[in-house]
Amino acid sequence: MPERRKLAAYTLPMVTFLALLALNSALKKIDNLFWLSSAEYWLYPTQAILCGGLLIWFHHEYDFDRLRRPFFAGFVAVVVFLVWISPQAFLGFSPRTLGFNPDIFARQSPLYWLTIIFRFLRLVVVVPFIEEIFWRGFLLRFLVDENFGRVRFGTFSWLSFAVVTLGFGFSHSAADWPASLLTGVLYNGVAYRTKSLSSCILTHAVTNLLLGLWIMKTKQWGFW
């Protein structure tokens, strides 16, 4: 079995992240008080802090190597961004305006900007690290050999490719499944082409940055 600390490093941030998402859903069912029905406004910053702290705590355990094929990684990031926005931006689908809307704090300037900062910190830094470490750093290799640390990053197998693609895709909301499944395929492709976890994180981060900026411009909060 993999060494316990290394296994925890690759899985615990994701488990914590998902547990807080589940808590968010559960709190909405308790009462319509704002801090319960809209718990994401304080739980998302909590996710960023707790999961970011775990990433820092375990940073020595991660197999970060040098960035490879950065232009290829950036190209895939742009393609994935276009995949996500194409239904609304190009195909005439209805705008997705319901969701995490920081404008509710617009009259409280410090709180508004603090909300924006934490939302982008979660979107552009914490989520790309957590998801790439788990899906492609851990599971893509674990399904080749349970002692995943001895599997070279980007090693291909049909089983790991299929499971990670489906797992990554269906871990998103149902409205995003077509885009997230294709994203899983493309991000796996970055892993296979670059053999670099750092390149996968860069791809994911650039995608999310572009998406975040597009959300702020179009106010389609349903894409957060």
Q: What is the pLDDT of residues 83-103, one digit of tens each?
A: 999 999 999 999 999 999 999
pLDDT at residue number 108: 86
Confidence class for position 140, pLDDT limits 50, 70, 90 = very high
Across all residues in the chain, what is the average pLDDT?
A: 95
pLDDT at 31 over 90: no
pLDDT at residue number 25: 92
Q: How far is CA 7 from the centre of its chain?
A: 19
Are 28 and 39 spatial neighbours (Cβ–Cβ below 8 Å)? yes
Q: Which of 223, 47, 10 is nearest to 132 (CA)?
A: 10
Calpha distance 84→82 (Å, rounded): 5
Q: What pTM, to 2 d.p., does this model score? A: 0.94
Span 193-217, average pLDDT: 97
Span 207-222, average pLDDT: 96
pLDDT tens for 45-86 read 999 999 999 999 999 999 898 899 999 999 999 999 999 999
pLDDT at 1 over 70: no
Q: What angle do CA 153, 15, 151 make, to 5 degrees?
A: 15
Calpha distance 168→89 (Å, rounded): 24
Q: Any idea of the CA torsion for 8, 9, 10, 12, to the nearest 10 degrees?
A: 60
Spell out the alpha helix ranges (H) of the chain.
4-28, 34-37, 40-57, 70-89, 109-120, 127-131, 140-142, 158-170, 177-194, 197-218
Q: Which two tokens stand for residue 97?
A: 């305006």
Q: Which two tokens stand for residue 120?
A: 């982008």
Are 3 and 61 spatial neighbours (Cβ–Cβ below 8 Å)? no
Confidence class for position 2, pLDDT limits 50, 70, 90 = low
**Residue-range domain boundaries for the chain:** 68-223
Calpha distance 56→117 (Å, rounded): 19
Burial readout 30-55 (b: 16 or more C-beta within 10 A, e: otherwise): eeeeeeeebbbbebbbbbbebbbebb
Confidence class for position 224, pLDDT limits 50, 70, 90 = confident
Half-sphere exposure of 106 (CA within 13 A, CB side): 4
